[in-house]
Each structure stands twice: as structure tokens, then as C-alpha cells.
């Protein structure tokens, strides 16, 4: 659950600005975006879709790999994110469309896209509808490449598994909030994955897409990067009746107990799918 004072989520200026700053200051989104773009095989592409493209970090990676003649369409439902993106990513090949992912097929001709890339956001959509829309806009042989955080997909890379038991910044936040603010953390109970690989495979099959590859990868970061992520209002912790200022004070106290360059590991499930047909 997002904090109560996150207000309008991704379509709120403070979240959009903080998120965009994070993508510029830390390597997580540029690294994951480059990985997805490489898997999409963009060398001969003419039109590539950056689905749920936010402020344009993934579009930049696509533009760097696509031919000079290719067009990139970045589609996102949050106008605030795209306002930031238009200011920070300038390329005549890039078109911004403000619309939900489910409405993709209303904005692109059938069979005209060589690839659709979605970084970190597919789980927030109506997945069956989105996969059907992607199948409609992809040319035969065109690829859909996306990733999902390991916690949402119910997977864990061995490197993250090996790090279990070490004190995380989230754990420290809960400890300080409990000690200093009377916070009562929710009882930890097993939570089924929001979107397991089995569910994804089934949804893709119904949409008429073939799974080419799946991989659980490790993304390496630092405690400083984790602090910056938790400073974005939408992700600030702990949950409950705290103001954002209170959460930032708790975060500062927790971060003071860590070392900025302490390595962190997160897991991601990466899926490459394809519309059946001959590749160009």
C-alpha cells in the first residue's frame, strides 16, 4: 500500500520529479532499460513502443540502440511523468502519448510495431488486456520484452537469497518507527505473487504470444540508492498515519545506521515473448 500522502501517485508532480531525478542520479533504470532494449533486438526496427514509459529513461535506452530512422513511441497514463520526460529527453524520433497501456492499440496501427518494451510496470496494468493490445500492434515476429520485480513475480535470484538475514534499510525504518513513534508493523504473512511466471505464460498464450525466454537476474545497487528510492513520496515508508516529513526523518535516522556504499541486491524476472510469424 502506498503512503497516504502520496496523493495522486504517478500523476502527481512531486513523485514525477523525484522519480525522474532518481533515474538520472542512479543506474538502476538505465541498466534495466539497456538490458530490455538489447533483448528486443532493435537493429532493424522502424517503430518501437516504450510501454508505461514514465519520464523516458527506457525511451533513451531504446533510442540509443534503434536505427537513426526508427521512431519510438512512449505511452504512459501519467501526464506528470510525461511533462518531466518532455523536458529531459529531447529527440525528434520520440513521440509522447498520454494514455493507459490497455489502450495501446488505439494509438498504433495494427502490425506496425517491431517491438514493445516495458520496464518495471506491466504488473500494474490489466495484463490480459495489455497483452492482447500488444499482440495486435506487433508485426509478425515482433517482440515484447518486460521485467517484473522479483517480489511481485515470486522469484529470487541466488545472490539476493544469499543476502537474506542482513539488515535492510526497510527493516531499520520499521525498527526506528516502532521505537520512536509507536509504530506497529503489520504481521508478516505469506503473500502470493502478484504475477507469477505461470500466470504470465498463461496470459501470453491466451493473447496468442509465444514465450521465447525467461530469466531471473540480479540488479546490484547501494544503500545510498535505496535511500534515494525511499525518498520518492510514493515509496516512502513506513505505511500508516505519517506525514512525508516524518517519514523522511525516520529514513534519515535509519540511513545513519548504514554505510552508503553497502551493496544491495534485488531480483527481477525478465520475459521475452514474440508474436508468431517470420522475423524480418
Residue 117 has pLDDT above 80, yes or no: yes
Instruction: Domain of residue 57: give its range.
Output: 4-154+189-220+266-274
Q: What is the pLDDT of residue 162?
A: 85
Q: What is the pLDDT of residue 2?
A: 35
What is d(CA 128, CA 203) in angstroms, rounded to the nearest whole number? 6
The grid cell for 94 is: 520520440
CA dihedral defined by 40, 28, 87, 63, rounded to 10 degrees?
-20
Q: What is the pLDDT of residues 52-96, one digit of tens each?
A: 999 999 999 999 999 999 999 999 999 999 999 999 999 999 999
Q: Does some domain include residue 253?
A: no
Q: Does some domain include residue 260?
A: no
Q: What is the pLDDT of residue 164?
A: 77
Q: What is the pLDDT of residue 4?
A: 36
Residue 280 has pLDDT above 90, yes or no: no
Over residues 126-152, the mean pLDDT reads 97
Q: Does some domain include residue 182?
A: no
Q: What is the pLDDT of residue 187?
A: 78
Q: Does some domain include residue 175?
A: no
What is d(CA 133, CA 206) in angstroms, rounded to the nearest whole number? 12
Residue with cell 495522486: 8
**Range ranked top by mean pLDDT from 8-12, 160-164, 179-183, 206-210:** 206-210
Q: Residue 71 CA to chain centroid, in angstroms?
A: 22
Percent of the chain predicted with pLDDT > 90: 88
Q: What is the pLDDT of residue 60?
A: 97
Q: Work out the pLDDT band at 153, boundaries 50, 70, 90.
A: very high
The CATH number for 70's domain is 3.40.50.150
Domain count, the chain: 1
The grid cell for 204 is: 501470453
Q: Which helix (H) or strand (E) holds 214?
A: strand 210-222
Residue 23 has pLDDT above 70, yes or no: yes
Q: Where are the alpha helices (DSSP H) in the chain?
A: 13-25, 28-39, 57-65, 79-88, 127-137, 150-153, 158-162, 169-181, 197-207, 223-231, 244-255
Over residues 230-252, the mean pLDDT reads 94
What is d(CA 196, CA 153) in angstroms, rounded to the nearest whole number? 5
Instruction: Check if the beta carbon of residue 204 is closer than 8 Å to that of residue 143.
Output: no
Residues 6 or more apart whose Cβ sits within 8 Å of residue 272:
39, 40, 143, 144, 145, 211, 212, 213, 214
Q: Does some domain include residue 245?
A: no
Q: What is the pLDDT of residue 240?
A: 87
Q: At what angle do helices 223-231 and 169-181 cross, to 10 degrees?
A: 60
Task: State the chain's mean pLDDT as an integer.
Answer: 93
Q: Work out the pLDDT band at 279, boundaries 50, 70, 90.
A: low
Q: Does some domain include residue 246?
A: no
Over residues 136-158, the mean pLDDT reads 96
Q: What is the pLDDT of residue 6?
A: 35
Q: Work out the pLDDT band at 8, boundaries 50, 70, 90.
A: low
Among candidates 153, 135, 149, 155, which has minimal Cα distance to 273? 135
Choice among 12-16, 38-42, 47-51, 201-205 with the minimum mean pLDDT: 12-16
Over residues 162-174, the mean pLDDT reads 86
Q: What is the pLDDT of residue 161?
A: 86
139-174 core/surface letters (b: 16 or more CB in 10 A; e: else):
beebbbbbbbbbebbbbbbeebeebeeeebbeebbb
Instruction: Check if the beta carbon of residue 35 is closer than 8 Å to that of residue 217.
Output: yes
Residue 133 has pLDDT above 70, yes or no: yes
238: left (phi over 0), alpha (psi -120 to 50) or beta: beta
Over residues 175-186, the mean pLDDT reads 92
Q: What is the pLDDT of residue 108?
A: 96
Q: Does some domain include residue 61?
A: yes
Q: Does some domain include residue 165?
A: no
Amino acid at each position: 500500500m502506498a503512503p497516504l500522502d502520496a496523493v495522486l501517485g504517478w500523476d502527481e508532480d512531486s513523485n514525477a520529479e523525484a522519480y525522474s531525478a532518481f533515474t538520472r542520479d542512479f543506474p538502476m533504470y538505465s541498466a534495466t532499460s539497456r538490458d530490455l532494449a538489447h533483448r528486443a533486438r532493435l537493429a532493424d526496427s522502424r517503430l518501437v513502443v516504450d510501454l508505461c514509459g514514465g519520464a523516458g529513461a527506457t525511451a533513451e535506452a531504446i533510442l540509443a540502440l534503434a536505427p537513426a530512422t526508427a521512431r519510438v513511441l512512449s505511452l504512459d497514463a501519467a501526464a506528470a511523468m510525461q511533462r518531466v520526460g518532455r523536458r529531459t529527453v529531447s529527440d525528434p524520433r520520440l513521440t509522447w502519448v498520454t494514455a493507459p497501456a490497455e489502450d495501446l492499440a488505439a494509438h498504433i496501427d495494427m502490425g506496425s510495431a517491431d517491438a514493445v518494451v516495458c520496464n518495471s510496470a506491466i504488473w500494474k496494468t490489466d495484463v490480459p488486456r495489455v497483452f492482447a493490445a500488444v499482440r495486435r500492434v506487433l508485426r509478425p515476429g515482433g517482440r515484447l520484452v518486460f521485467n517484473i520485480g522479483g517480489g511481485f513475480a515470486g522469484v529470487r535470484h541466488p545472490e539476493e537469497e544469499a543476502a537474506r538475514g542482513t539488515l535492510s534499510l526497510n527493516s531499520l525504518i520499521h525498527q526506528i518507527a516502532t521505537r520512536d513513534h509507536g509504530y506497529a508493523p503489520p504481521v508478516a504473512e505469506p503473500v502470493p505473487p502478484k504475477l507469477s511466471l505461470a500466470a504470465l505464460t498463461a496470459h501470453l498464450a491466451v493473447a496468442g504470444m509465444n514465450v521465447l525466454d525467461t530469466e531471473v537476474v540480479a540488479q546490484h545497487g547501494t544503500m545510498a540508492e535505496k535511500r534515494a528510492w525511499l525518498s520518492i513520496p510514493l515509496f516512502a515508508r513506513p505505511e500508516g498515519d505519517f506525514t512525508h516529513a516524518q517519514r523522511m526523518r525516520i529514513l534519515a535516522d535509519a540511513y545513519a545506521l548504514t554505510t552508503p556504499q553497502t551493496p544491495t541486491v534485488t531480483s527481477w524476472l525478465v520475459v521475452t515473448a514474440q508474436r508468431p510469424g517470420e522475423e524480418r
